[in-house]
Amino acid sequence: MHEGLFRDLTPLLSPKAIAVVGASERHGSAGRLVLENLRNLGYAGAVYAVHPKYREVLGFPCYPDLRSLPGPVDSVAVLLAAEKVLPTLEAAVEAGAKAAWVLASGFAEAGPEGKTRQADLARFAAQSGLLVCGPNCIGVANLVDRVATYSVALSPATKAGGVSAVVQSGAICLGLANAARFGFRYLISSGNEAVLDSADYLAHLVRDPQTKVIIAFLEGIRSPQKFVAAAQAAAEAGKPVLVVKVGRSEAAQRAVQAHTGSLAGSDAVCDAAFRRLGVVRLDTLDELLEAAELFLTCPLPEGDGVGLLSLSGGQIGLVADLAADLGLRFPSFSPDALAALERILPPYTNIANPLDAWGSGDLESTYPACVEVVSREKGIHLLAVTRDTPPQVAPREVEQSLAVAEAAVRAARETGKPVLMFSNLSTTFHPQVKEVLEAGGVPYLQGTRETLRAVQAFIRYAAFRRKRLVPRDAGCPP
């Protein structure tokens, strides 16, 4: 990674002591929610509430100002109005803080006065070396180390894990945190990015051994040079970066400018740069979540051959229509596989890839046997099996789904290939089925198009990785 281009963000993302300026006991206030998050996470570091009216807030000692703190702090949460932010940051630096998060809006997104205010903030940070997250964002949460300067209530269901998110929109950060089925290392809401931008966070996550997959929602790229350097480092480390970037339309570009004061930039240029750097671009948040689940759980495929098993000709028709637009390749079965499948399925079955493995309705005898045959095909590099199992299905449906899930787990274990199961409907899953798949290292994705887009992204990224691993002179005579 480029030396000197990126700074160590540990004081912001893993602080040992925190001051919360604007602490409050008022229900629903940011000053209360930040403290509640720290308490609920079981943060082990020092927490100092700061407010001139209180001596204690939610059991945390409270001080009238930053000068009165009994010890040093790494990070300061600034929960005050925009006009009070800069004086608070100045006091934070005097108190020895290395980092701060600014919640308030009213900066570059708020007209000429706000732009001046943001420029003053950025200038002070550059002069003092203060790491600043925001303004106009909900902060950061480090689920692994159980620390957060984060102004939205963290759900008890939001768990620690290997995905880190960098999100310029606070509402989308909240939505991703609450919707994801996987766990997070970091949730980073970057807001206006007056000082630290998405590239700074990406670079830190590339170096972080506990981050396995990086996801991002970008409204603009403030520093193309830094973003390219961070993406190159991710490619060298083999760490996937999955991105939803808005700004394709004029309406989106106007919305971005109004929201965070960011310039969306040329979409065609971004697309070309992403492809060159191996950054995986997706179109929707649902696609982002399904792709992250797949990247986090499965080994990369060794080729682009997809094997798909279904229980319905109608589902196969739907998959075929969507897959045609995505360029997915479903190789024909070998003669040996065709012969084996003919022995398993009724004579009237159209044996092809994608395969209708319903047979005559005896799912437990046909589907697992078909999974075994297809998974062993040399030309199949990724196996997808489809089975809808929403939480409210009948017990008999659960039994059948468990047979499919167990077959998928067995195929993954015995072949070492990436195997996934997916539901055509985005209705969540029956917990018994999900538990079997999770224990066996097989992701359960939801949504037909979302799953196919995740598979497309996975295969393309794997091809990018293989190309990088091939020596430049491979195949050339000495």
For residue 471, the model assigns a pLDDT of 45
- For the domain spanning 299-466, the CATH number is 3.40.50.261
Q: What are phi and psi of 193, to 5 degrees?
A: 55, 50
Q: Supply the pLDDT for residue 265.
A: 59
pLDDT value for 477: 29
The pLDDT assigned to 469 comes to 75
pTM above 0.85, yes or no: yes
Residues 85 and 135: beta-carbon distance below 8 Å: yes
CB count in 10 Å sphere of residue 41: 18
pLDDT of amino acid 248? 67
Identical fold for domains 9-282 and 299-466, yes or no, is yes
pLDDT, residue 37, reads 98
The fold of 9-282 is: Rossmann fold (3.40.50)
Nearest C-alpha neighbor of 121 from the set 17, 217, 191: 191
Q: Which of 6, 458, 467, 459 is nearest to 242 (CA)?
A: 458
CB 387 within 8 A of CB 401: yes
Cross-strand bridge partners of residue 99:
75, 131
Give me the tens of pLDDT residue by residue for the chain, a chain 478 residues long.
566 789 999 999 999 999 999 999 999 999 999 999 999 999 999 999 999 999 999 999 999 999 999 999 999 999 999 999 999 999 999 999 999 999 999 999 999 999 999 999 999 999 999 999 999 999 999 999 999 999 999 999 999 999 999 999 999 999 999 999 999 999 999 999 999 999 999 999 999 999 999 999 999 899 999 999 999 999 999 999 999 999 764 544 454 444 454 444 578 888 899 999 999 999 999 999 999 999 999 999 999 999 999 998 999 999 999 999 999 999 999 999 999 999 999 999 999 999 999 888 888 989 999 999 999 999 999 999 999 999 999 999 999 999 999 999 999 999 999 999 999 999 899 999 999 999 999 999 999 999 999 999 999 999 999 998 754 433 322 3
Strands (E), 70-179: 75-78, 99-102, 131-133, 139-142, 147-150, 160-167
Give me the sign of the Cα torsion angle 253, 254, 256, 260. positive
In the chain, where the domains are located:
9-282, 299-466
Partners of residue 189 on adjacent β-strands: 139, 167
Give pLDDT, residue 475: 32
At residue 288's C-alpha, the angle toward residues 286 and 289, to 5°, is 65
Residue 194 token pair: 């007056």
Reading the block at residue 261, the tokens are 């004061």
Q: Are 75 and 97 in contact (CB under 8 A)?
A: yes
